[in-house]
């Protein structure tokens, strides 16, 4: 399995932190072992930039969706735009969508988050696309909403997983993948290391969430997909297997979930 390429399942190369060197960086991905990238939309502007990037780079695919912290961008017109644009061949998922109660404490605003999360889940169902879910400090409501709408019928990944092992297992039982990134390399992230140990490799996706959450030894610096070997290496050492196996299996997993990323 030597020479496998890495599938980066969650990046934000539209972010202005990449303005100085985006072209140079993205052009170097292939030769550095990054085979495919999903650029994930967060607000409306990021979604439009994502579409541009999918046109520019053959190995780059897009996910379109509005992040819970950016739902002020959402209305019926934008929903219609998402629906039309998601039909494009290189749009492989709806995301990132979900709930974020860490940044939003107002109960009414949280209820709007739930409304638009639900709307975008239904959009994914209608389009037969997988979802990329962001959930922070909203474990209970995320699970309840997903159970209520029978989310086990909609394939997807819980990205940057930050909850308990029990909850990770619950999502795996619903058919979901667990997105693991730089946090797993942090010394104090015992919970996520335990999840990486217990969850079958067949259910794990590699992700950066770059420019955020750079793994050790680059913690605190701007992140990019080039740091993914550190994440794969950490998961491999936790599971007691080879890094190449982690890279090859997560590539296969991502292909199984994001069926349009061919």
Residue 14 found at the interface with Ni ion (CB under 5 A): no
Question: If binding means CB under 5 A, how many residues of this protein chain bind Ni ion?
Answer: 1
CB of 150 to Ni ion, least distance (A): 25
Q: Is 46 helix (H, G, I), strand (E, B) or coil?
A: helix
Q: Which is nearer to Ni ion, 141 or 209 (CB)?
A: 209
Nearest-approach distance from CB 96 to Ni ion, in angstroms: 5
Measured from the CB atom, the residue of 77 and 220 that comes closer to Ni ion is 220
Residue ranges in 160-219 that form contacts with Ni ion under rule CB under 5 A: 209
Minimum gap (Å) between residue 22 Cβ and Ni ion: 17
Q: Which residue number has the CB closest to Ni ion?
A: 209
Q: How far is CA 230 from CA 131, 212, 216, 225, in A?
A: 26, 15, 7, 10
Give the residue with the Cβ less far from Ni ion, 8 or 209. Answer: 209
Q: How far is the CB of 210 from Ni ion (least distance, A)?
A: 9
The DSSP element (H or E) to which 142 belongs, if any, is helix 139-148
Q: Which is nearer to Ni ion, 70 or 209 (CB)?
A: 209
CB-facing half-sphere around the CA of 53: CA atoms within 13 A: 31
- Smallest separation, CB 144 to Ni ion (Å): 23
Residues contacting 62, CB < 8 A, separation 6+:
38, 39, 40, 41, 47, 50, 51, 53, 54, 88, 90, 91, 92
- Closer residue to Ni ion (CB): 209 or 234: 209
Q: Report the C-alpha gap between 115 and 65 in whole angstroms.
A: 14
User: Residues 206, 180: contact at Cβ < 8 Å?
Assistant: yes
How many residues in the chain? 262
Q: How far is the CB of 115 from Ni ion (least distance, A)?
A: 21
The candidate with the shortest Cα–Cα distance to 156, out of 259, 5, 7, 24, is 259
DSSP state at residue 95: E
- The minimum distance between CB 40 and Ni ion, in angstroms, equals 5
Contact present, 200 and 208 (Cβ < 8 Å): no
Q: Which is nearer to Ni ion, 179 or 229 (CB)?
A: 179
Question: Rounded CA gap, 184 and 186, in Å?
Answer: 6
Of 223 and 253, CB closest to Ni ion: 223
CA neighbor of 203 nearest in space, from 243, 155, 240, 164: 155
User: Which residues are at the interface with Ni ion (CB under 5 A)?
Assistant: 209
């Amino acid at each position: 399995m030597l020479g496998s390429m890495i599938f980066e399942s969650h990046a934000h190369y539209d972010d202005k932190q990449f303005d100085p060197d985006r072209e140079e960086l993205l052009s170097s991905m292939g030769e550095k072992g990054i085979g495919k990238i999903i650029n994930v939309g967060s607000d409306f502007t990021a979604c439009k930039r994502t579409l541009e990037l999918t046109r520019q780079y053959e190995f780059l695919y897009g996910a379109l969706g509005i992040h819970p912290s950016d739902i002020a961008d959402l209305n019926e017109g934008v929903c219609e735009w998402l629906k039309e644009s998601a039909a494009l061949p290189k749009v492989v998922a709806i995301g990132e969508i979900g709930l974020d109660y860490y940044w939003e404490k107002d109960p009414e605003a949280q209820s709007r988050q739930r409304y638009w999360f639900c709307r975008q889940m239904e959009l994914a169902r209608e389009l037969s696309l997988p979802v990329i879910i962001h959930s922070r400090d909203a474990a209970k409501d995320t699970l309840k909403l997903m159970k209520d709408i029978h989310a086990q019928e909609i394939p997807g990944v819980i990205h940057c997983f930050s909850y308990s092992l029990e909850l990770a297992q619950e999502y795996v039982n619903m058919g979901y993948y667990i997105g693991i990134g730089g946090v797993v390399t942090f010394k104090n992230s015992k919970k996520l290391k335990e999840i990486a140990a217990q969850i079958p490799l067949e259910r794990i996706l590699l992700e950066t969430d770059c420019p955020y959450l750079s793994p050790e030894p680059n913690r605190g610096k701007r992140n990019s997909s080039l740091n993914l070997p550190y994440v794969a290496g950490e998961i491999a050492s936790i599971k007691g297997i080879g890094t190449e196996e982690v890279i090859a299996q997560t590539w296969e997993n991502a292909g199984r979930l994001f069926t349009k990323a061919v």
